[in-house]
Structure 1
Amino acid sequence: MSKIEHFLASSKAALNESELARRIQLASGDYADEEKGKPSLLKFMGEADLLIEPARRLVRQFEVPKARVPQTVILFPGFGHGPSRMQYMADRLEEAGHTVKHWGQGRNWGVAEATLDALEERLADVCNQTGGPVALVGWSLGGLYARELAKLHPEQITKVITMGSPFSGSRRSNNIWRLYSVITGESVDQPAIQTDASEKPDVETVAFWSPNDGAIGPRSAAGKPGERDRAVALRCTHSGFTYDPNAIVAVVNELDRHTR
């Protein structure tokens, strides 16, 4: 390796170390007041339920109720996840009679203006394909994207359903924000999209939350009156919003509850 190549390699390594240190700094600090309401460590450990879910599906049987009003639904995955995480729910919703589309952005790696712009195009394409407005169902961070999209284009959306999405209260009332800062390099205090996450879209907006959620604080996911139209309590883990039979049946029933 030449002296120039060695210099460039060492400079890159130093830069990477510096960037890692910056991200760790973002995730550090005592924020006890802002973290009030976050799930306990025991509940967070309960999210390991995700690991045995594939085996459970081999023996579990449950009947998906048929949709009274079949419609088109776009599913939004949570942070670090992509369409594959939502596929089980997608299959069950299609069993019910709905037409399901994925968000079309691959894995959800955080808040980004470019992603929201692409979602606007995706929404327009799906509406053009199906000939009408659609329902949005978003898990965790995906639910925040669904809410923002509904604020921009309420005429194209019949309903927004969020599942364990932290749209209310402190951005640190959860067990994810430190990991989020390290992975994305962004502070939760300065998200890439400047918006009031608690502001309700001008469409029917329903928040699913769970007292068993190990990732997101229940109050943050349930929201306050005026931040959503209704809050619906379920008994599932945070990951379970995407595969628990009760969560899937709740989504089917909620889609039937109201149509524009």
Structure 2
Amino acid sequence: MGIPLEPQQRIEPPGGNLLRELGGVSRGLARWSRGRRQRRWLPRGSGEPVMVLPGFLTSDASTLVLRRFLRRRGYRVHGWGLGLNRGDVYRLLPLLVERTRALAAAEGSPLRLVGWSLGGTLAREAAREATEAVAQVVTLGSPVVGGPKYTLAARYYERVVGLDLDAVEEEVSAMTAEPVGVPITAIYSRRDQVVSWQACLDRRDPDVEHVEVDASQFGLGLDPEVLAVVARQLAKGCAS
């Protein structure tokens, strides 16, 4: 799909307009209710296992629409089962890697990981740690560059958690210098007011395909345009 940003360009912070974000949710719900007939023609899976990961300060409840959609598309769908995503990456990642390996073993097949926002960031790193247990990753508005630095959560991580965001950015840069090792679809939107869309782009990994959509960050998990992309990319991954 191409990467619409030159490496030397500065990453801008997200707009932070939460009213636009909420409006995007309403828009996504309206489009969802009108698009039932079109969804019937989307590609289907054949029972492949999928785990869906929620974003920062959300839980499996936030991914209900997305999981139900994928289940109806023929996938065996799991929530992440780790409760509220409080953003403690260093604590959550080992737990996620353990769960990914356990689910893949139980299913007898590598998982497809679909992660929303921070959930997508965690999905990438779980795939990096457990490549044998992951067949594919799809991220929805997930920061790849800078950790939380280019998100609305930046102040929280800096002032409450006490992170040095510049140091975290360098750590993330060093970590992402190597490819994850599985095919990745990175879905992003220029309308995102929570995560800088430029931070969702991965220029380093040749296995990343970028897909731009017209949706808000809060609406990514229920907007029919986004769900159609997820369905197509999962089906493409299953066929390869």
Note whether the superposition's TM-score is higher than 0.5: yes
AA partner of residue 143 (structure 2): P
Q: Residues 204 and 229 of structure 1 are in contact (CA less than 8 Å); yes or no, is this contact kept in structure 2?
A: yes
Match for residue 155 of structure 1?
132
**Identity fraction in percent:** 25
Superposition pairs of residues 177-188 of structure 1, within 5 angstroms:
177-182=154-159, 184-188=161-165
**1:45 aligns with one of 4, 12, 19:** 19
How far did 1:228 drift?
5.0
> Please, which of 210, 223, 235 is the counterpart of residue 189 of structure 2?
210
CA distance in structure 2 between the partners assigned to 1:67 and 1:222 by the alignment: 27
Structure 2 residue 194 is matched with structure 1 residue 219: no
Q: 5+ unaligned residues in a row in structure 2: which ranges?
A: 1-8
Instruction: Tell me what 1:82 maps to.
Output: 59
The aligned amino acid for 1:258 is G
Aligned match for 2:176, one of 190, 198, 213? 198
Q: Does 1:110 align with 2:84?
A: no
The residue number in structure 2 matching 1:9 is none
Q: Tell me by how many angstroms 1:103 deviates.
A: 1.1
| Distance (Å, rounded) in 2 between the aligned partners of 1:120 and 1:132 | 15
Closer/same/farther in 2, CA of residues 95 and 46 from structure 1, 3 Å limit = same
- Alignment RMSD (CA, Å): 2.7
Separation in 1, partners of 2:234, 2:28: 26
2:44 is aligned to 67
Aligned to 1:25: none
Partner of 2:98: 121
- Secondary structure, aligned partner of 1:85: helix
**Cα distance, 1:203 vs structure 2:** 0.7
Give 1:31's aligned residue.
none
- The CA distance in 2 between the partners of 1:227 and 1:187, in whole Å, is 29
TM-score where L is the length of structure 1: 0.76
Count of equivalent residues: 224
The alpha-carbon deviation at position 125 of structure 1 amounts to 1.8
Q: Find the residue that maps to 1:138 and give its secondary structure.
A: strand
CA contact (8 A) 1:213 1:238 kept: yes
Q: Which has the larger radius of gyration?
A: 1
The alignment's TM-score, normalised by the length of structure 2, stands at: 0.81
Distance 1:40 1:115, change over 3 A: closer
